[in-house]
Amino acid sequence: GTPRFVHARVTPLDDDLCLAVVNDNTEARAAEQSRREFAVNVSHELKTPIGALSLLAETIEEGADDPEMVRRFSKKMRKESRRLSKLIQEIIEISRLQGGASLLEHEVLALDGVVHEAVEAARLGADARNIRLVTDVRERPTVLGDRDLLVMALRNLIDNAVQYSDEGAEVAISVDARDGVAAVAVIDRGIGIDPKDQERIFERFYRTDPARSRDTGGTGLGLSIVKHVALQHSGSVAVWSEPGVGSTFTFKLAVHQEAS
């Protein structure tokens, strides 16, 4: 198995009896390591848009007498600023989520209402790519959760489905419940994900195509936020995907049983 970081102290009590205190801090070390990695990644990820902005500003300064160029590069600057602010927002969100569940405000929610809100939030981006969002509510389960976080997580899944589909395509969102488990599925017929990437896409900053992700305003944090929201709700998120066929992301939560 995996090596563990164990510290043991053995105190002899008498001739044939010892007291051993074993201190296992494997998890604490792993958490510390993961925090450090995150900090390094964050500074690296922030440098890219900041560097791009400064270069764009310099170019505009030098070519100030060419209005067409100024317009083009200003537009690029606006796009980079938008991505930078999304990045900062998501970094704050993920730090908050990793901090623990104590900050969550759980309330009884109608899942189809939450899904509806997420779909509406994703509508503008979908319209821009001429993508139809089709919602299919098969069951109306009630769940216990933080409304804003659930909307954010589901919206991330829908935004991705839109982003990784061809223009004019359709994205389906279904709500179902079975055996005490509520499930929201987001189904696209987009580019799909290679089997070797399917586990890693939930990692912070992991993208299968960094250039494409950056170009479409992606941050590489969306799915890791979705995963953390699921974990904070004792739920799960899973992917089924086939390159060239499409992807289905399924977000599951326990159905809330009303006390009677």
Site membership for ligand ADP, residue 111 (CB under 6 A): no
Provide, rounded to whole angstroms, the least separation between the CB of residue 81 and ligand ADP.
16
Q: C-beta of 175: minimal distance to ligand ADP in Å?
A: 18
Write the DSSP symbol of residue 220.
S
> Which residues, including other chains, have CB under 8 Å from residue 144's CB and lie 6 or more apart?
106, 107, 108, 109, 233, 254, 256
Stretch near ligand ADP under the rule CB under 6 A, chosen from 23-31, 39-47, 175-183, 190-198: 190-198
Q: How far is the CB of 72 from ligand ADP (least distance, A)?
A: 24
Instruction: Report the site for ligand ADP in 143-172 (rule: CB under 6 A).
Output: 156, 160-161, 164
Paired with 132 in beta bridges are 170
Q: Is 49 in the site for ligand ADP (CB under 6 A)?
A: no
According to the binding rule CB under 6 A, does residue 118 interact with ligand ADP?
A: no
- Identity of the residue, 207 or 228, whose beta carbon is nearer to ligand ADP in the bound complex: 207
- List, in order, residues 6 or more apart from 202 with CB less than 8 Å away: 223, 224, 226, 227, 237
Contact region with ligand ADP (CB under 6 A), list: 24-32, 105-113, 122-130, 199-207:
199-207
What is the spatial distance between Cα 238 and Cα 53, in angstroms, rounded to a whole number?
36
Q: Which of the ranges 44-52, 55-63, 104-112, 200-208 carries the binding residues for ligand ADP, by CB under 6 A?
A: 200-208
Q: Which residues of 83-114 are buried (b: 16+ CB within 10 A; e: fewer)?
A: bbebbeebbebbeebbeeeeebeeeebebbeb
Q: With binding defined as CB under 6 A, does residue 131 bind ligand ADP?
A: no
Residue 18 CB, nearest distance to ligand ADP (Å)?
50
Q: Is residue 191 near ligand ADP by the rule CB under 6 A? A: yes
Q: Does 223 bind ligand ADP (CB under 6 A)?
A: yes
Instruction: Kindly tell me which residue out of 84, 182, 193, 230 binds ligand ADP, with binding defined by CB under 6 A.
Output: 193
Of positions 49, 145, 218, 235, contacts ligand ADP by CB under 6 A: 218
Q: Token pair 């890791």 is at which residue? A: 224
Give the CA count within 13 Å in the CB-facing half-sphere of 176: 11
Does the footprint of ligand ADP cover residue 213 (CB under 6 A)? yes
| Bridge partners of residue 22, in order along the sequence | 8
CA end-to-end span of the chain, whole Å? Answer: 46
The stretches of 145-248 forming alpha helices (DSSP H) are 147-163, 210-215, 222-232
Per CB under 6 A, the list member of 83, 155, 207, 227 interacting with ligand ADP is: 207
CA–CA separation, 21 and 210 (whole Å): 48
Q: Which residues bind ligand ADP (CB under 6 A)?
A: 156, 160-161, 164, 188, 190-193, 201, 206-209, 213, 218-224, 247
